[in-house]
C-alpha cells in the first residue's frame, strides 16, 4: 500500500511540475517537455518500475532481478527523477523569469516570418546546396554498407540475418561516422523541417517538391540500420512542427499519425522477425508494448546491480573517444558493458548492441549516486534552457527546423545516456551548420542572386 501511495503522490506532483515547466501538457499541443513526461518518463520508466516493485513482471530479463534491494533502489531512483527533473526545470524558469504558459502560447500564435526577404529565394538555393550534401551523404552510407538494408527487409530476409545486418550497419560501420551521424542522420531531417515550414508559409510547389525529396531521404537515412524508433519518431516530429506553426494539431491529424505509426510498427516487427504473429504484438517479451513499458527501464535495474559490484565505476570513460584520446583512455558506454554481461552470446554473434536506459543509469555507472543526484538537476536545467531559448528566438523556418530537431532528439537521449547532455558533437555541429546555412544565404542574397528577379510568384509556381 505504501508503494501505491508513493507512486500516486509522485505522479500527481510530477504532472503539476511538468505542466508548470512546459506551459501545457495537452496532447494536442505536444511539445518537447510534454513528450519527455508522457513517453520517456511515464510510459518507458514509471509504469515499468511499478510493475517491478509489485513483482507483476514476467519479462524474460526483468524477472531475473530477484534482489529486492535492487528493485527498491531502481524504483526510488525513478521516483526521484519524476520529481526533481521537472522541479529543476521550474527553478530554471524562475531564474530566467520564464512564464511558460504565456510564452508558449504567444510563440505558437505568432506567424512565421521569412529569414531575409519576402520569398527567401536565396534561402531556397542554399537549401538545394545543403540537400545535395545530405543526399550524397546518404548514398555514402549505403556505399559503405554495400547495400540498402530496407530492401533486404522487403525481400524477406530471415530475422538472424537482419539482426546481424543491423549491428554491422550501426556498430560495425566502416565509414566516417561524422558523415553518417551529422550530414545524413542530422542534417537531412533538419532540412526537411525547414522545407516543410516554407511550404506551409507560401504553398509554393518548389518547396513542396523539396520537402518530399528530403522526407524520402530522411526515411531511408533513418532505416540504414533497421532501427524502428528513429523513423517512427521522425514521422511523429511533424506533430511538433505543426503545433509550433499552427498552435495545435487536430484530432483527425493525431488519429491519422497514430494509425500510420501503428501500421509501421506492426510491419517492422513482423518483417524483422520480432513477432511470429499478430498475437505476439501485445507480448511484453517480444511486442512493442513490452518494449516500451519494460524494455527501456529494465537495463536500469542491471546498471544498479552491475556497478560497482561486478564492474568498477567508469569515472567519465563514457565520454566520446575524441575527448578521451587526449588522456589516452578508451571510451566505453555503460550500456555496452551491461549488454556484454547480460547477453555475451549476442555480442559474439554480432546480433546485440547496447542496453540504453534512463539517463541516470549512465550517470550512476560513471559517477555513482552523486551522478544521479546532481545529474538529474543538470539535465533539467539543460532541457529547460533549450526550451526557453527557442521560444524566445524569432519564429522563422530556420529556427522552427532547429526547434523541431531538438524537440525530438533531446527526449530520445533522456532514455539514451547522460554523457550526451554534457557533450554532444551532433548537436553542436547542427547548430554550426544552421549558422553556415544562414551565412551562405546572406552571401547569395547580397551577391550573384537577385531575389526580386528570380522569385516566381505563388500563383505561377
What average pLDDT values come out for the chain (461 residues) when binned by 10 residues? 92 98 96 97 96 88 90 97 98 97 96 87 94 97 90 76 79 88 95 97 94 96 88 94 94 91 81 63 74 92 96 95 90 94 84 89 97 98 98 97 97 94 94 95 75 45 46
Domain that holds residue 30: 1-461
Predicted pLDDT at 79: 98
Q: Which H/E stretch holds residue 375? A: helix 360-392
* Helix 187-202 and helix 121-145, axial crossing angle in degrees, nearest 10: 150
First to last CA, the chain: 66
Predicted pLDDT at 457: 44
Q: How far apart are CA 272 and CA 372, in angstroms?
A: 35
The alpha carbon of residue 332 and the mean position of all alpha carbons in its chain are separated, in whole angstroms, by 21
Q: How far apart are CA 379 and CA 4, in angstroms?
A: 27
Predicted pLDDT at 454: 45
Q: How far apart are CA 386 and CA 363, in angstroms?
A: 21
Q: How far apart are CA 116 and CA 450, in angstroms?
A: 12
Residues in the chain: 461
Predicted pLDDT at 449: 46
Predicted pLDDT at 318: 94
Q: What angle do CA 19, 25, 26 make, to 5 degrees?
A: 150
Cβ distance 48 to 327 under 8 Å? no
Cβ distance 431 to 375 under 8 Å? no
Q: How far apart are CA 226 and CA 149, in angstroms?
A: 7
Cβ distance 394 to 114 under 8 Å? no
Specify burial of residue 240 (Cβ count, 10 A radius: 0-12, 13-18, 19+).
buried
Predicted pLDDT at 458: 44
The alpha carbon of residue 205 and the mean position of all alpha carbons in its chain are separated, in whole angstroms, by 30
Number of domains in the chain: 1
Predicted pLDDT at 452: 47
Predicted pLDDT at 348: 78
Most distant CA pair in the chain: distance in Å?
A: 73
Q: How far apart are CA 294 and CA 43, in angstroms?
A: 9
- Which pTM does this prediction carry? 0.91
Predicted pLDDT at 60: 83
Place of cell 523556418: 397
Amino acid at each position: 500500500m505504501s508503494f501505491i501511495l508513493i507512486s500516486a503522490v509522485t505522479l500527481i506532483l510530477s504532472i503539476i511540475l511538468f505542466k508548470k515547466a512546459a506551459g501545457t501538457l495537452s496532447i494536442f499541443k505536444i511539445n518537447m517537455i510534454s513528450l519527455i513526461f508522457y513517453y520517456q518518463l511515464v510510459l518507458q520508466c514509471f509504469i515499468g518500475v511499478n510493475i517491478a516493485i509489485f513483482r507483476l513482471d514476467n519479462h524474460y530479463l526483468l524477472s531475473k532481478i530477484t534482489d529486492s534491494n535492487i528493485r527498491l533502489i531502481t524504483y526510488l531512483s525513478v521516483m526521484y527523477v519524476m520529481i526533481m527533473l521537472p522541479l529543476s526545470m521550474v527553478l530554471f524558469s524562475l531564474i530566467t523569469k520564464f512564464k511558460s504558459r504565456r510564452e508558449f502560447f504567444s510563440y505558437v500564435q505568432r506567424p512565421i516570418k521569412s529569414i531575409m526577404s519576402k520569398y527567401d529565394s536565396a534561402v531556397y538555393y542554399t537549401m538545394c546546396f545543403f540537400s545535395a550534401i545530405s543526399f550524397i551523404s546518404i548514398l555514402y552510407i549505403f556505399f559503405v554498407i554495400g547495400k540498402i538494408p530496407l530492401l533486404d527487409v522487403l525481400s524477406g530476409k530471415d530475422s538472424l540475418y537482419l539482426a546481424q545486418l543491423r549491428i554491422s550497419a550501426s556498430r560495425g560501420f566502416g565509414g566516417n561516422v561524422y558523415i553518417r551521424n551529422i550530414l545524413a542522420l542530422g542534417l537531412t531531417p533538419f532540412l526537411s523541417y525547414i522545407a516543410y515550414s516554407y511550404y506551409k508559409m507560401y504553398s509554393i510547389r518548389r518547396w513542396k517538391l523539396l520537402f518530399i525529396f528530403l522526407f524520402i531521404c530522411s526515411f531511408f537515412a533513418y532505416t540504414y540500420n533497421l532501427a524502428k524508433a528513429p523513423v517512427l519518431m521522425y514521422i511523429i516530429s511533424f506533430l511538433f512542427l505543426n503545433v509550433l506553426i499552427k498552435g495545435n494539431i487536430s484530432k483527425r491529424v493525431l488519429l491519422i499519425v497514430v494509425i500510420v505509426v501503428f501500421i509501421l510498427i506492426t510491419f517492422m516487427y513482423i518483417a524483422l522477425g520480432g513477432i511470429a504473429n499478430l498475437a505476439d504484438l501485445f507480448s511484453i517479451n517480444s511486442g512493442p508494448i513490452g518494449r516500451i513499458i519494460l524494455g527501456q527501464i529494465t537495463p536500469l535495474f542491471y546498471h544498479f546491480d552491475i556497478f560497482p559490484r561486478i564492474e568498477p565505476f567508469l569515472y567519465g570513460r563514457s565520454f566520446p573517444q575524441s575527448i578521451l584520446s587526449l588522456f589516452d583512455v578508451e571510451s566505453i558506454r555503460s550500456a555496452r558493458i551491461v549488454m556484454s554481461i547480460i547477453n555475451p552470446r549476442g555480442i559474439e554473434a554480432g546480433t546485440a548492441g547496447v542496453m540504453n536506459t534512463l539517463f541516470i543509469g549512465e550517470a550512476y555507472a560513471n559517477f555513482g549516486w552523486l551522478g544521479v543526484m546532481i545529474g538529474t538537476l543538470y539535465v533539467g536545467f539543460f532541457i529547460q534552457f533549450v526550451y526557453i531559448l527557442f521560444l524566445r528566438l524569432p519564429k522563422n523556418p530556420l529556427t522552427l527546423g532547429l526547434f523541431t530537431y531538438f524537440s525530438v532528439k533531446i527526449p530520445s537521449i533522456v532514455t539514451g545516456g547522460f554523457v550526451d547532455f554534457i557533450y554532444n558533437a551532433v548537436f553542436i555541429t547542427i547548430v554550426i551548420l544552421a549558422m553556415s546555412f544562414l551565412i551562405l544565404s546572406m552571401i547569395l542574397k547580397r551577391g550573384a542572386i537577385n531575389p526580386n528577379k528570380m522569385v516566381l510568384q505563388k500563383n505561377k509556381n
